[in-house]
Amino acid sequence: MAAPQTATPTEYETAGEPPFSWRAILEIVQALALAVVISVVLNLFVVQVTEVRQNSMVPTPLQNDRVLVSKVDYRFGAPQRGDIIVFNPPIDSSIPYVKRVVALGGETIDLRNGRVFVNDRPIEFPETRGLQTQPQAPRVTYPFRVPEGEVFVLGDNRTQSSDSRTFGSVSVTNIIGKVILRFWPPDRLVFFEW
């Protein structure tokens, strides 16, 4: 009588029962861990996604738009007039603000007859909405000299914006980054000037 034959691993595979592989699971776990590390590093040091929570920048970004924020721009240079930035406001707020830089450290901003002047020159942005730009809080008096290392920010939707007219200038150390892309909703995709 012949001895029974044992099945080889190749026969199991052809029968549709692949052997369990710890190595394959380990490779998947390693790939997922690497993806998480890369994502965290990118979010902490390079770029982050931010949801616009206010109507203060209408129509540039609208409320609930998603924007991509560069965290490296201001590591290599200073904010410039016209930049749209995301920052932690110098007031008690659980959300970051999105505003436009209007005046830089060392410059003097004035609000006269509903218009914005920086160093006695009128400053206009085509995206600005609202009939007039008026002061908001008595603690910010005009003309206002922006301290070095700070910026004066305004919302594009001037009548619906709580900005430097309310809380004063913003330290550059409070700036999270510069808005470079509006990507959501997809039909409003736009790159902002770098």
Q: What is the pLDDT of residues 37-91, one digit of tens each?
A: 776 766 666 667 777 788 788 887 777 788 878 887 787 888 989 888 989 888 8
Tell me which of 56, 70, 164, 169 is the catalytic residue: 56
pLDDT at 102: 93
Q: Which residue has the higher pLDDT, 7 or 146?
A: 146
Decide if 99 is catalytic: yes
21 bridge partner residues: none
Domains defined along the chain, listed by start: 73-179 (2.10.109.10)
H-state helical runs in 46-141: 73-76
**Rounded mean pLDDT of 174-191?**
78
Lowest mean pLDDT among 33-37, 97-101, 156-160: 33-37
Decide if 56 is catalytic: yes
pLDDT at 15: 54
Q: How far is CA 152 from CA 18, 24, 124, in A?
A: 65, 55, 14
Tell me which of 70, 71, 99, 169 is the catalytic residue: 99
pLDDT at 112: 87
